């Protein structure tokens, strides 16, 4: 019996379920399901339609069951920088605002009153982009501080989707680095930076590397999808996963990562 492995790859405009298995020493990939991803206008901001994403994830999993191709493991990657906050009961404290929203306009100047762009780059190694999570959280702190105050955890979008599948909150490393708050020297959250900016430290827990098992599907998810499986972290930042798939890492090579910005 062949083992199938389900990769759910969600970009800024579409998502797809890819089943992989090994046959005669070759990796065979099959697109099993594809769906649209879109932004919606909510409470004055451009937000991700998380309900649509979640229903699409379940729909693709159900198709695997219908075709009798049951995945041994499941992993989800998405774009970077976007996140949700959860309260003590695991409920969202606000919307999943999209990185293309204008709420971060001018937030870099506010952050740079605390730490210069030069010093921030020296600590994190992340290119300055106005939509980086560090600026999004500063915007949230100014507009909706009560959401930060009531939050018990921060999950990047794929971390949140893994949480819905398993009930386990886990912060994956590659997507965490896109926040601009992971120290490039320690490979951990930069708590000195986080304190400097006045962000709640409790939102930033241990980082987990790709390959870590998140957990088993929740019973209600198993019942709905029609199978048992476990969730394993990929590089949840889609560019990280794409880089790992390039079959030329030991050679002098050039690769082009082309997303919706193209």
Structure tokens belonging to residue 33: 């399901």
Per the rule left: phi > 0, alpha: psi between -120 and 50, beta: everything else, 11 is beta
Give the three-class secondary structure for 15.
strand
C-alpha closest to that of 94 among 12, 39, 166, 150 = 150
Beta strand pairing call for 39-42 and 26-36: unpaired
Q: Is 46 a catalytic site residue? A: no
Helix (H) or strand (E) holding 61: helix 50-66
- In the set 9, 101, 190, 238, the catalytic residue is 238
Q: How many CA atoms lie within 13 A of 170 on its CB side?
A: 28
Radius of gyration of the chain (CA): 19
Q: Which residues are catalytic?
A: 238
């Amino acid at each position: 019996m062949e083992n199938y492995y389900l990769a759910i790859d969600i970009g800024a405009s579409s998502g797809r379920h890819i089943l992989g298995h090994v046959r005669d020493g070759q990796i065979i990939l099959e697109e099993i399901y594809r769906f649209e991803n879109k932004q919606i206008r909510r409470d004055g901001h451009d937000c991700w339609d998380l309900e649509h994403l979640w229903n699409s994830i379940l729909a693709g999993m159900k198709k695997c069951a219908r075709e009798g191709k049951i995945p041994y493991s499941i992993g989800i990657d998405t774009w970077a920088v976007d996140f949700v906050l959860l309260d003590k009961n695991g409920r969202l404290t606000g919307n999943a605002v999209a990185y293309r929203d204008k709420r971060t306009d001018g937030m870099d100047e506010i952050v740079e009153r605390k730490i210069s762009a030069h010093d921030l780059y020296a600590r994190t190694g992340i290119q300055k982009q106005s939509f980086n999570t560090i600026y999004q959280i500063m915007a949230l702190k100014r507009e909706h501080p009560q959401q930060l105050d009531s939050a018990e955890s921060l999950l990047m979008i794929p971390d949140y989707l893994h949480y819905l599948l398993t009930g386990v909150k886990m912060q994956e490393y590659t997507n965490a680095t896109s926040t601009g708050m992971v120290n490039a020297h320690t490979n951990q959250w930069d708590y000195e930076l986080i304190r400097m900016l006045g962000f709640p430290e409790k939102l930033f827990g241990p980082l987990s590397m790709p390959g870590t098992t998140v957990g088993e599907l929740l019973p209600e998810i198993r019942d709905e999808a029609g199978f048992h499986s476990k969730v394993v972290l990929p590089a949840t930042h889609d560019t990280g996963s794409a880089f790992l798939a390039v079959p030329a890492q030991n050679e002098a090579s050039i690769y082009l990562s082309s997303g919706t910005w193209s």
